[in-house]
Structure 1
Amino acid sequence: MTGVLVVTAVPAEAEAIRAGRGPTVTVAPVGVGPAVAGAATARLLALAEAAGRPYRLVVSAGVAGGFTGRVKVGGTVVGTSAVAADLGADSPTGFIPVDQLGMPAELLGGGPTITADPTLVAALRAALPAAAAGPVLTVGTVTGTVAGTDALLRRHPDAVAEAMEGYGVAVAAAHAGLPFVELRTISNPVGPRDRNAWRLREALTALTEAAAALPF
């Protein structure tokens, strides 16, 4: 076991990370979506701590959709925060984020936005100078329309990418008292789903290259 835990959604992403890093980090595919990713990550962290070999940092890594004009397909993203972008309530006037629903703060965990560890962000940005940096949105339902994309960008004007696990992993790391950062490579633009335009192979190759540059 190493001191660095890198979690991905699916095995193909884990294999891409291992191709770049070998055994120098622990890589685990934990499943798709924030709930399963958070639960599985929390279990891995708890087991390592119980075994007396705790991890010292957590990375959520994998392929994502990128917002057009902010990161290109095949590009790399360093997440400065993980945002639970669809956690809240619908209303006649639009989406209401969970932190605006009047719930006690203690019920919100780290809140709908968890800031990535600044030291880890700085290290990744130095190692990957061509990468875009900004908030990565975590969603339970991938955006598939122009209207949905526009609505997300109105609420999160600095967002650079959309994925499905980062916030769940960030919550697990926060509960364990560990630093967290998110690393993504882009297979497709956020918006209408055109599978013929996806570049998954290119994104996985970029993920291997990014993993090889990890400074930890």
Structure 2
Amino acid sequence: MNGGATTQVTQTRARRPWVALIAATRLEAEPLLEAWGAENKTGETESPDKHGKAPGFVTTEIIHRRWHVFTDIPGAHRGGEDMGAVVVETGYDKTNTAQALTSLLERARASWLPVPAHPDWDPKPRLVLQFGIAGAYPPSGLDVGDLVVATEEIYGDTGAWTPEGWLSTECFGMPLLEVAGRPSWNRFVLDRAVAGRATRRLRWREPGAVEGSADVAHVEAGSCITMSCVTGTSEQADELWQRWGVLAESMEGAAAAQVCLLYGVPLLEVRAISNLVGDRDRGQWDVTGAAARAARAAAYLLARIGEILPPNPDGPGDEG
């Protein structure tokens, strides 16, 4: 008995979990968008995937960046059916990457995402997945077409030159970033559990799931370096490898890692090797093939996103 009092039940609409995807260039993003049926289209579209679902999507431009927003991850299964996705073409190099990713995360916090059909998305993504091309350092054992999953990102050219040689940011006496009392200098450690699950999934994938044929790419996980000036001599490549011991080099990874650390969002970085780092010879590069392979790897992981994601202790809707 409640003495006639009316019990009021407040129902809260569940927020929609989602993942963010970032690629530096149109060339790197297009193979994924083509696989999802969203290339060269503007406005909300309903296009059924192979499972018979019709994920709405919209392509728009925000601050000179192309955004592609999907209400469902096309082809997702094993826990991924009820997740959205936003693909952003950031532009290459550190500043473009940091600006575009920050814009995405801030708009999500303010509920300003251009979302079709389902506006109540979580205020931050469960994961940021960065995909694209990279150059491999010869001692890594990687070759053109292989895949690399970053466990750590390093700013390779942030520091100081002295008559005695190059010094890292530690020479400044203050960290580049400090979060929760933990300083970061040149190195940013990614979520290794996420990287490990992604690496294992790529290694265990069924033949042809990523490549479109029976060939299976070599997959390695480890440290990667970010350089604004692309390494173009064997001498410089050897010097950087001796200093950092990295697998591969890009122009964006560390910037994404720094922004993700600031916002408390895990970053998964998956790249395909377009060239070996050393004396620059574009005739030996395969940029288009590597971009397609990285995008297929990203699509493969997203189709199994429930196996890759970290636990979500905050629950949906918590801003953390």
Same fold by TM (over 0.5)?
yes
Deviation at 1:20, TM superposition (A): 4.8
Q: CA RMSD in A?
A: 1.8
Q: Counterpart of 2:30?
A: 15
Matched pairs, number: 213
Task: Find the aligned partners of 1:207 and 1:64 in 2 and give their Cα distance.
Answer: 10
Task: Find the aligned partners of 2:132 and 2:234 in 1 and give their Cα distance.
Answer: 24
Residue type at the aligned position of 2:173: M
Q: Please list every run of 5 or more consecutive structure 2 residues that lacks an aligned counterpart in the other structure.
A: 1-15, 38-69, 74-84, 112-120, 179-183, 204-217, 306-320
Residue type at the aligned position of 2:177: L
Task: Percent identity, please.
Answer: 31
Q: Counterpart of 1:47?
A: 107
Deviations 1:177-208 (A, max 9, x none): 11112111011111111111111122123113
SS in 2 for 1:90: strand
Q: Counterpart of 1:38?
A: 98
Q: 1:38-187 residue pairs with structure 2 within 5 A?
A: 38-51=98-111, 53=122, 54-70=124-140, 71-99=142-170, 101-105=171-175, 107-109=176-178, 110-129=184-203, 130-157=218-245, 159-187=246-274
Deviations 1:152-175 (A, max 9, x none): 011112x11000001111111111
Which protein has greater RCO, CA pairs closer than 8 Å, 6+ apart?
A: 1
Give the 3 Å change call, closer, same or farther, for CA 21–123 of structure 1 in structure 2: farther
> Which entry has the higher C-alpha Rg, 1 or 2?
2
Deviations 1:125-166 (A, max 9, x none): 111124111111001100001111011011112x11000001
Question: What TM-score results when the alignment is normalised by the length of structure 2?
Answer: 0.63
Misfit runs of 4+, over 2 Å = 16-23, 102-105, 107-111
Question: What TM-score results when the alignment is normalised by the length of structure 1?
Answer: 0.91
Task: Find the aligned partners of 1:11 and 1:92 in 2 and give their Cα distance.
Answer: 41
Q: Please list every run of 5 or more consecutive structure 1 residues that lacks an aligned counterpart in the other structure.
A: none
Deviations 1:20-75 (A, max 9, x none): 56641321110111122112101111101110532111122111111124211011
Give the 3 Å change call, closer, same or farther, for CA 2–27 of structure 1 in structure 2: farther
SS in 1 for 2:165: coil
Question: Which has more helix, going by share of residues?
Answer: 1
